[in-house]
Structure 1
Amino acid sequence: MEPTLRQIRYFIAAANAGQISRAAMDINISQSVITTAIKSLEEMVGTPLFERHAAGMALTYEGSLFLNHAVHIMESVDEAVRIPRRIKEDLSGTVNLAVSFTVIGYFLPKLMARFMRTFPNIKIHMTEANRTEIEEGLVTGGFDLAVMLTSNIINHEDLSQTTLIQSRRRLWVSSNHKFTKQAAVTLQDISTEPYIMLTVDEASNTTQRYWNKTPFKPNTVFRTSSVEAVRSMVANDMGVAILSDMVYRPWSLEGRRVDVIDVDETIPTMDVGVTWRTNATHSDVTKALIDFMHLSMGAE
């Protein structure tokens, strides 16, 4: 078993932050994912990489050695991302890129800013659209690529995709909610609570699909297309919601805390990836964008 780029990136974030919770906030990932990554790395190298203490964590001697190599690895990856520009300095063109609402709001901007710095002669023309519009645009040639929720795709015959991340869904509750005393909850438990239903990017359709596999249903008291509205209402104890870790932030706009709890049932992940028309011929610039995203996300 070998470490993945994601595990190395999470380790570096924890080393820099000195706390799992702060590292999770810095890179927008759940604390449990970082903890699991560090545990796996420690099992691989056969020694603790961190010393845990009340205020957080500090690198062991072996952890410091590992950090030096880990930073070198990530620098090498960044260098590899820039190789296409050096090899082909005249790489230029335009990519007509479709993006879905959740992707442009919570995933793509930082990644695209890095790509544009790396490939300054490639112009990205981005269009925000819903799934139906994106699928139609890819099939008809209006869009070259799309970064979207690949778990939502309907037209599997005409479209191909590669997944970049799989973001698990968990229950959002206020910091003083009774469920915070439980390690996990069931959909039956959740059905007794007022539920705030997110509708953007067909989130309500996805929600209904996994609820329909049970004899229970969510007690929906409000529907909204705004993730921030859900966050604020949950934080103010107006209801609960099941949403993905990708859009999770621990604080509402008014500074109230939102906690997350595992759901003790199989809840599908929210998958984000790159999509294109099946059998489409990729240009050098579209290849560069796809490769860059894979390298940047540590995709295997």
Structure 2
Amino acid sequence: MALSIRQLRYFVATAEYGQVSQAAISQNISQSAITAAIKELEQIVGVPLFARTAQGMELTSSGRQFLSHAYEILAKIDEAMQLNFINTDVEGELVVAATYTVIGYFLPMHIERIRRLFPKLRVQLYELNRESIEEGLLTNRYDLSVLLTSNILNPMITTETLLSSVRRLWVPAQHHLLRRKGVGLQEISQEPYIMLTVDEAAQSSLKYWSKTPYQPNVTLRTSSVEAVRSMVANNQGVAILSDMVYRPWSLEGRRIETINIQETVPAMDVGLAWRAGNALTPAMQAFRNYFQQAFGLPGVAGGKPAPE
């Protein structure tokens, strides 16, 4: 029996959600299809990948090892499907600024792909906060930026959003809110809350909290996403963060679950930014074209640059 891409995708979805039902919803298929694919995969690799519990599907030690390889395989497949029709002969130097969250949880894989796709293009990368990036773009110190476009309000900067990452409630495994049919900010306000502060996360959070009569019961403010992850996993509080930075396991190997929030909580938008009115150089356009193809945005056809 040969391993299939379908089996890998269903395995990863189940590992990330921890429940066959949620994995089935995310893949828009039946639960039985997920279950059958995982069973086939376990037969192929010859070891159990999940431990079936009353709470859901927990990865075994072998399952965790296999998950890292599954991520790599799927990333390579996605890369092969996305890197078509771009002129790879572009050369020159590109100075790119990125914020903490983007450089930590989004950009590295794409920079690796860009460097392999455009071997003559040198990308110089800097990590900075939004204010420094805006100032650098306006003074032409940086050619482009990859950052949280939802935080940019300066009309002198052009932005292009690549993805909108949904924000959900993070809770530890077996948390009592997992048993509720609906969870809103009122219920969340009654829990100890871990507030992330990096990349203006606290300001973004308070914008949607301020539209309600409730406030988060903040017990810790931290600039570390990993600190939030560990605190939540160890039952020290809950947090509302985006799917982009979500991982199902803490550094200690403890499970973190997510819950959809009843109120409308704005997504975290990630994308490109450059000084408005600047003509894009061939290097800048190649960088932009890569991301447009990677995220299925209009603008690249047969290698032609997208319109300004």
Q: Which residue in the other structure is 1:8 paired with?
A: none
Report percent identity of matched pairs: 44
Q: Secondary structure at the match of 1:51?
A: helix
Confirm whether residue 21 of structure 1 aligns to residue 13 of structure 2.
yes
Superposed CA RMSD in Å reads 2.8
CA distance in 2, matches of 1:33, 1:111: 28
Normalised to the residue count of structure 1, the TM-score between the two structures is: 0.79
- The count of corresponding residues between Structure 1 and Structure 2 is 260
Q: Which residue in the other structure is 2:107 paired with?
A: 108
The 1:95–1:36 alpha-carbon spacing in structure 2 relative to 1, beyond 3 Å, is farther
Q: Which residue in the other structure is 1:77 paired with?
A: 82
The 1:193–1:256 alpha-carbon spacing in structure 2 relative to 1, beyond 3 Å, is same
Distance apart, 1:16 and its partner CA: 2.7
Q: Report the AA paired with residue 95 of structure 1.
A: L
Q: Report the AA paired with residue 243 of structure 1.
A: L
Q: Secondary structure at the match of 1:292?
A: helix
Confirm whether residue 243 of structure 1 aligns to residue 257 of structure 2.
no
Q: CA contact under 8 A between 2:7 and 2:37: conserved in structure 1?
A: no
Q: Which residue in the other structure is 1:51 paired with?
A: 33
Q: CA contact under 8 A between 1:14 and 1:20: conserved in structure 2?
A: no
Normalised to the residue count of structure 2, the TM-score between the two structures is: 0.77
Q: Which residue in the other structure is 1:168 paired with?
A: 166
CA distance in 1, matches of 2:248, 2:129: 27
Note the alpha carbon deviations across 1:199-254, whole angstroms, 9 max, x for none.
Answer: 00000000000000001100001000000000000001000000000000011101
Q: CA contact under 8 A between 2:97 and 2:144: conserved in structure 1?
A: yes
Q: Report the AA paired with residue 111 of structure 2.
A: M
Q: Which runs of 5+ in 2 are unaligned?
A: 42-75, 299-308
Q: Report the AA paired with residue 143 of structure 2.
A: D
CA distance in 1, matches of 2:176, 2:277: 52
Q: Which residue in the other structure is 1:9 paired with?
A: none
CA distance in 2, matches of 1:165, 1:55: 29
CA distance in 2, matches of 1:249, 1:170: 12
Q: Report the AA paired with residue 196 of structure 2.
A: L
The 1:74–1:130 alpha-carbon spacing in structure 2 relative to 1, beyond 3 Å, is closer
CA distance in 2, matches of 1:31, 1:126: 40
Report matched runs for 1:198-237 at 5 Å.
198-237=196-235
The 1:260–1:212 alpha-carbon spacing in structure 2 relative to 1, beyond 3 Å, is same
Q: Report the AA paired with residue 96 of structure 2.
A: L
CA distance in 2, matches of 1:102, 1:165: 14
The 1:153–1:58 alpha-carbon spacing in structure 2 relative to 1, beyond 3 Å, is farther
Q: Which residue in the other structure is 1:134 paired with?
A: 133
Note the alpha carbon deviations across 1:163-217, whole angstroms, 9 max, x for none.
Answer: 1110000000010211111243110000001100000000000000000000110
Report matched runs for 1:124-203 at 5 Å.
124-155=123-154, 157-203=155-201
Q: Secondary structure at the match of 1:185?
A: coil
Q: CA contact under 8 A between 1:20 and 1:56: conserved in structure 2?
A: no
